[in-house]
Structure 1
Amino acid sequence: MKTDYILAISGSDILSGGGMQADLATFNRHQLFGFVALTSIATVTDDGFEVNDLERPLFQSQLQSLKEIPFAAIKIGLLPNPDLAEVSLAFIKNYQDIPIVLDPVLIFKENQDGTIGEMAETLLSFLPYVSLITPNLREAEILSGETITNLKDMRRAAERLHRLGADKLVIKGGARLDKHQAIDLFYDGSEAVYLKKSLLHRNNNGAGCTFAASIASAMAKGQTALEAVKAAKIDVYRAIHNSNQYGVKQNDH
């Protein structure tokens, strides 16, 4: 039975630009009913931004509470440690008949502690079980082992990730490859499509969360992966255009 229920497995952004706050705002804009299984709670201290992981039993209990709900799609965001990732992977294996979009958030790990290699290995184990992944350039480099300095390198990294098990993926280029355009690459093993939008010099906090949530929302409503990615590219451009000091902002236009 097709429903309008969609799940975000993600962390909370205390400033509400990204995380589950961005996921729920995106789901709502797509007229979907959003559920959340929270993985972490962020706080802002005198020392900066801190991510506080939930304990495994509590996280596991959240997913157990949702096991009977007939979701139309699942979006996975911040998995703060391999332990919670393992629980998430076991959960999504029961939902192989619906779209599952993974935003493999790794950069905060690279900045905060030494578990980046372990998390990358853990996230690679998700690839056979998700419909599409949305790494940014640095995350694509970490996961694929490829260095990306141009569009040819981006294509090589996409091909490598596909060989590692990613059915479909979109690598987000951001501002690193072109100072005038944000160039993303969609790849499904045969078709490679470059998606371009002019760069906006505004606050883009939460753009990655919004992008993945928008893709999951569109796929929940029956769009193909490429259609969903193209629509999400436009959604994110608008969200960045409307951003405030805390991050991207949804609108209805």
Structure 2
Amino acid sequence: MRGRVLIIAGSDSGGGAGIQADIKACTALGAYAATAITALTAQDTLGVHAVQGVPPDFIRLQIRLSLEDIGADALKTGMLADVLTIEAVCDAVAAHGRDIPLVADPVMVAKGGHPLLAPEAVETLRRRLLPLAALLTPNLPEAEIIAGQPVSTVEEMVAAARRMLEMGAPAVLLKGGHLPGETLVDVLATTGGIETFESGRIDSRHTHGTGCTLASAIAAGLAQGLSMRDAVARGRAYVRAALREAPGLGKGHGPLNHAVTLDPARLATLA
């Protein structure tokens, strides 16, 4: 096991996204996952049915204790829900983990459409979280909200990614899964330039937690010393493999196979 990742995000009772997906992704890629839970959700593959926030002081305490004891080589944020939560997380990261690379997944809407970020919190996210992040990983709807401009083509993806760089994010991975077409394009924008990643679309309804999983996979790569570009490339490859091997669970948007990298048969040789 190599690389420590502190994940600051919400819990998914269905296990396909959120903290549960984050832990699985880091473990599958050989990294150690610690957590600071920001919210509890009651959800299944059909949607989010209820959300219960965690008090900001308790969020701060989780982050501080984890960083002061186990430490971290990378941070990952997911669902932050509201202004007070964003402020608490950013205060704690600035005080105890400012020099640790942070992958920020700006979780705004659940796969089933349930809002996971209060509208009034968007400006706080722009102002506080973007400057702390080493990488921002929005999907297209999130990018439209953060950048304040439409995104319906690859060219507009590049423009929105550059806009988010101007807003303070040092790197942006803009995910193109919401665009139509058989070819999926993701845009990685850094101060060094623009790189696109292209792959064939995988036709599956079992896509719950893809954003959480990708961001945590990238954080695991950064924690293990990979470059930003290599962490993104490996994270994408892992998510695609997990999508292809999805177990087919649930009646709606089912989970990925986060254990796609594991070989249970190998355990017999280790016993």
| The two structures share one fold, judged by TM-score above 0.5 | yes
- Equivalent residues of 1:159, 1:189 under 8 A apart: no
Match of residue 89 from structure 2: 88
Kindly report which structure 2 residues correspond to 1:15-30, keeping only aligned pairs within 5 A, or say none: 15-30=14-29
Q: How many residue pairs end up in the alignment? A: 250
1:210 aligns with 2:213: yes
Distance in 1 between residues matched to 2:117 and 2:74, nearest whole Å: 29
Q: Of residues 226, 238, 243 in structure 1, which corresponds to 2:241? A: 238
- Pair 1:224–1:115, CA change in 2 (3 A): closer
Query: Which shows bigger deviation, 159-168 or 93-102?
Result: 93-102
Query: Which shows bigger deviation, 210-219 or 55-64?
Result: 55-64
Match of residue 7 from structure 1: 6
- Equivalent residues of 1:100, 1:131 under 8 A apart: yes
Aligned-pair Cα RMSD in Å: 2.3
Match of residue 56 from structure 1: 56
- Pair 1:62–1:85, CA change in 2 (3 A): same
Query: Which shows bigger deviation, 113-122 or 95-104?
Result: 113-122
CA displacement at 1:108 relative to structure 2: 4.0
Deviations 1:111-143 (A, max 9, x none): 556964322111112111110010000000000
1:41 aligns with 2:40: yes
1:247 aligns with 2:260: no
Match of residue 77 from structure 1: 78
What residue identity is the alignment partner of 2:120?
Answer: E
- Pair 1:61–1:132, CA change in 2 (3 A): same
Kindly report which structure 2 residues correspond to 1:57-206, keeping only aligned pairs within 5 A, or say none: 57-69=57-69, 70-93=71-94, 94-108=96-110, 111-112=113-114, 116-124=118-126, 125-174=128-177, 176-202=178-204, 203-206=206-209
Distance in 2 between residues matched to 1:112 and 1:16, nearest whole Å: 17
Identity of aligned residues (%): 27
SS at match of 2:186: strand
Distance in 2 between residues matched to 1:193 and 1:35, nearest whole Å: 31
What residue identity is the alignment partner of 2:79?
Answer: L
Query: Which shows bigger deviation, 56-65 or 229-238?
Result: 56-65
Gap regions ≥5 residues in structure 1:
none
CA displacement at 1:49 relative to structure 2: 2.5
Distance in 1 between residues matched to 2:47 and 2:17, nearest whole Å: 20
TM-score (norm 2): 0.86
- Pair 1:25–1:95, CA change in 2 (3 A): same
TM-score (norm 1): 0.91
Gap regions ≥5 residues in structure 2:
263-271
